Homo-oligomer: A and B are copies of this chain.
């Protein structure tokens, strides 16, 4: 990353950003226009002391410990949807991946790939939303990069965020810690994010009724760990939803998982929309929901901790881990039958995150 300080900025800037209503190829070219874009749109909005020196990277001191490192790119379409936007998603998604490692999220990077012709106002709005989401989650966006691609070679804005966090001593959250007999808890109702995005994308009449669940999850995870709940595994329920996440954990841990359809919280408008559209809410993406796998003896304390956070107020026990390895995930349906929850070949909804 090349960024600049704003010394003698006024002198050096005969054409203020506000004269450019759209992003141009030159905004990615390493010259004056890029410097103005970075300074006026990114640095002023993300404002923090690690970003301010504007060197090729950010540096900070660490104590001895365990670091967590993760990345995700965001290509959601449209950029704005009920309950969120691509900027908010880009912060929450990476904060949540760190939280799922048991880490306290510390710092994020932000890499933008902008399409020539993008409205600068739209970019400002997305960046503002990222800054707000970062502030609310207690993380700083400390380094970044901007590239511009020709019109028709991108789609408005793609964002990559990477994140670094610190895992408390003694925390070992991983599928390999899962044991037969463990309980499966879900943090809240499923499917809202996917349905909210789809509703605006397809111009459906229930648009606005369903809001994305996009939210940071590190607070409740920190509380779970801090409260002494023995947390074996955590997984946020993004692309592929609950069914895919449980398949991944089941296969990685070499265990079976049985879940109870009647216990899985799904809001009525989400259930209705899924029925109408032929979607299975168990496979729909969420951006503020996770499963926690804990010993059966820890179900009550874990649910008590989860329910005191708004983001997981509807936490529920939905199933248990068995020693049967194949098929990994079985659903006990509301009509008393059982159904194998396999991995789908792809997501039901493309570009949902």
A interface with B by C-beta (< 8 Å): 1-2, 4-5, 7-8, 11-12, 15, 24-35, 53-75, 96-98, 100-101, 103, 107, 109-113, 142-145, 147-150, 152-155, 158, 160, 162-165, 167, 173-176, 235-236, 238-241, 244-245, 248, 251-252, 254, 285, 325-326, 343-348, 350-351
Given contacts A34-B346, A158-B158, A350-B28, contact A59 B66 (CB under 8 A): yes
How many angstroms between the C-alpha atoms of A103 and B111 in the bound complex? 20
Q: Please tell me which one of the listed residues B2, B4, B24, B343 contacts residue A32 in the complex, with CB atoms under 8 A apart.
A: B343
Knowing A27-B346, A236-B56, the reply to whether A251 touches B12 (Cβ < 8 A) is: yes
Residue of B nearest to A327 (CB): B12
Q: Evaluate contact between A29 and B350: CB separation under 8 angstroms.
A: yes
A255 to chain B, nearest CB (A): 11
Minimum Cβ distance to chain B for residue A290 (Å)? 10
- The chain B residue sitting closest to A353, CB to CB, is B147
For A32, A150, A244, A345, the residue with the greatest tally of chain B CB atoms inside 10 Å of its CB is: A345
Q: How far is B352's CA from A283's CA once the two chains are assembled, in angstroms?
A: 40
The answer to whether A240 touches B2 (Cβ under 8 A) is yes
What's the least CB distance linking A176 to chain B, in Å?
A: 7
Tell me if B71 and A67 are in contact (CB < 8 A): no
Contact A148/B59 with A4-B248, A30-B238, A252-B5 known, Cβ cut-off 8 Å: no
Docked pose: A110 CA to B70 CA in angstroms = 9
Can you report 14 residue pairs joining A to B where beta carbons are below 8 Å apart? A7-B251, A8-B326, A12-B251, A12-B343, A28-B350, A29-B240, A30-B347, A34-B239, A34-B240, A56-B100, A56-B235, A59-B66, A69-B107, A73-B147
A65 touches B62 (CB 8 A): yes
Known contacts A53-B176, A59-B66, A73-B145; 13 additional CB pairs below 8 A are A1-B71, A1-B72, A28-B239, A31-B347, A35-B248, A56-B96, A61-B64, A62-B62, A69-B162, A71-B162, A73-B160, A75-B149, A164-B164
Name the B residues within 8 Å of A29 (CB-CB): 239-240, 344-348, 350
On whether the beta carbons of B33 and A113 are closer than 8 Å, the reply is: no
